[in-house]
Structures are given as C-alpha cells and as structure tokens.
Amino acid sequence: MSRPLILASGSAYRRALLNKLGLDFDCDSPDIDESPRLGEEPESLVARLAQEKARAVAIRHPEALIIGSDQLATLEGKVMGKPHTHDRATEQLSQASGKQVRFLTGLCLYDAKDGSFQCEVVPFDVQFRELSDSQIEGYLRAEQPYDCAGSFKSEGLGIALFERLIGDDPNTLVGLPLIRLIAMLENKGFDVLAS
C-alpha cells in the first residue's frame, strides 16, 4: 500500500492487534472529548467516537487512511466503563458474574484524501461464569485490568472468567475488529494478503 495507514489510537492493545496483519502503519493518538451526548445510545456513541477519532487524526495526515475505533461494554442495558480502580473492577466483575455482557466496538476507516469513510458497530457477547469473591480477587490481583472496559483482559488470564464467547471475531473483544477492518481496506483497493 503506497498510502500511509494511521491507527488513531494510543492503545497498546489496538496497536498489538493491528500488528498481527503485518502492515506498515503509524499511531497517532486523537485528543477528543469522549463524553456521551444527552440520550445517546451506546451503538451511536461508539460509531460517533470512532469517526471523530479518525477525523481528528486525519487533519495531521491528509494523504492517509485512518483507522478509528472505540469500544464500550454494556450489562443489562447499562454502560460499563473502564474501572480505573480495584474496587470498581471488583464491582464490575461481581455484577457480570453469571451474566452476558455485550461489547460494542465502533470501527471507522476514514480516507483523509477524499473525506469518504466506512463505519460499522461490531458486537461481541461474553457469557461470564458464576464467579466467587475469591476468584474475582485472585484475577484482579494477577492482571490488574483497570484500563480495560469490563475489567478483564481476554487475551490473558481473563479467559478463565468466561463460560463462552459469542461473536464473529475475537479481536473485537480486545478492541479492533480485524475481520471487518480487512474488508474495509479491501473496499479501498488494499488486499492485506497480497501486500
């Protein structure tokens, strides 16, 4: 691909996922307000933020294809944010115990050259096992996933929290739906396998 590819993110998790594709890309962290708008539904929020992240970075990279992504988790219709603290993570995992949590990931591929974009919201569901207080405490002490929506890292020990995963692309759960991204790149004439 002769055009620059930019990941509009400061996330080490998203960077690691994109690295799996063996592409040359740079990262540029967007600086946007991620607050939800009054009455904004979770699907609309993640789609809007993925687009806004890509557009914010596009200003600095006018020839590039920009990848924007945003994710949130919902439990029984309520948004679960990043816990940031041990106590909040304990609370989140206790609430999720035995229940299904839906992750929504907004993905946007923005063409800074012509202003066109592709945007989708990719769902992924996680059925949690029934977790004891000691299991939750042991997990949090081991991984300290305080910067992760839902309070776990599925790519690590967090997999032990689950009964099953329901979705098309397990990368979605970490924060970047690679299967959908590959299709978006192909729509712009870029074949990941042929590069």
pLDDT tens digits, 133-159: 999 999 999 999 998 888 998 888 999
The pLDDT tens digits of the residues spanning 153-193 come to 888 899 999 999 999 999 999 899 999 999 999 999 988 99
Distances (CA, A) of 117 to 85, 87, 147, 157, 163: 36, 40, 29, 36, 36
Confidence tier at 1 by pLDDT (50, 70, 90):
low
> Is 24 designated active site?
no
Residue 149: its pLDDT value, please? 84
Contacts of the segment 165-169: beta carbons below 8 A, 24+ positions apart: 165/124, 165/125, 165/126, 165/127, 166/100, 166/124, 166/125, 166/126, 166/127, 167/122, 167/123, 167/124, 167/125, 168/122, 168/124, 169/122, 169/124
**Catalytic member of 24, 70, 133, 169:** 70
> Would you list the domain boundaries of the chain?
5-187
5-187 has which fold?
Answer: Maf protein (3.90.950)
